[in-house]
Amino acid sequence: MCHVIVTCRSMLWTLLSIVVAFAELIAFMSADWLIGKAKPSNSEDVDDRTGGSQEPYHPTLGIYGRCTRISHMQLSRRDTLCGPYAENFSEIASGFWQATAIFLAMGIMILCTVAFVSVFTMCVQSIMKKSIFNVCGLLQGIAGM
C-alpha cells in the first residue's frame, strides 16, 4: 500500500513538474506583460457580422515580444500582429527586462531539466544513495526564486 502511494505521488509530481515548466515557457513567450490603455474605436471598427463595434484594442508588450494593430490592412476589420520587437539581446526594453529575461530563461532551463529527469524517477528513485526527489525539489526551489 505504501509503495502505491509513493508511486502516485511521484506521478503527480512528474505531471505538475511538466505543467509548470510549460507554463513558465508560455509566460516567457507571452506579449502580455504590459497592457496599454484601450485605443478609442473609430467608425471603421465596426464588426460586419453583428453591426456593433469591436472590443477596444489594447497594445501589449512582453519581455521581447509585442502586439500591435495593423491599420493599413485592406480588410473590413483591423487585425493585430504579434511578434518579437527585439532581434538581439541588447534591444530588449530595459536593463531590468534584460535581467528578467536572463533569470527567467535560467529558471525555465532548470524546470525543463527537472521535468525531464522526473520522468525517469518512475523507474529509478535514487542515484549514489541520494534521492532524486530531494535533488529535483531543491532545483525547483532554486528555479522558483
Per-residue pLDDT of 45-101, as tens digits, reads: 454 555 445 567 778 888 878 887 776 654 545 577 888 888 888 888 789 989 989
Decide: 145 and 41 in contact? Cβ < 8 Å. no
Domain that holds residue 89: 12-37+55-144
46 in a structural domain? no
50 in a structural domain? no
1 in a structural domain? no
The pLDDT assigned to 80 comes to 76
**122: number of Cβ within 10 Å:** 11
Per-residue pLDDT reduced to its tens digit, 8-57: 777 888 899 899 999 999 988 888 888 888 776 554 545 455 544 556 77
5 in a structural domain? no
| Apex 62 CA angle, 138 and 68, nearest 5 | 160
| This prediction's pTM | 0.70
- Characterize the bridge pairing of strands 60-61 and 65-70: antiparallel
Give the H or E element holding residue 34.
strand 34-35
Residue 45: which residues within 8 A CB-CB, separation 6 or more? 53, 54, 77, 78
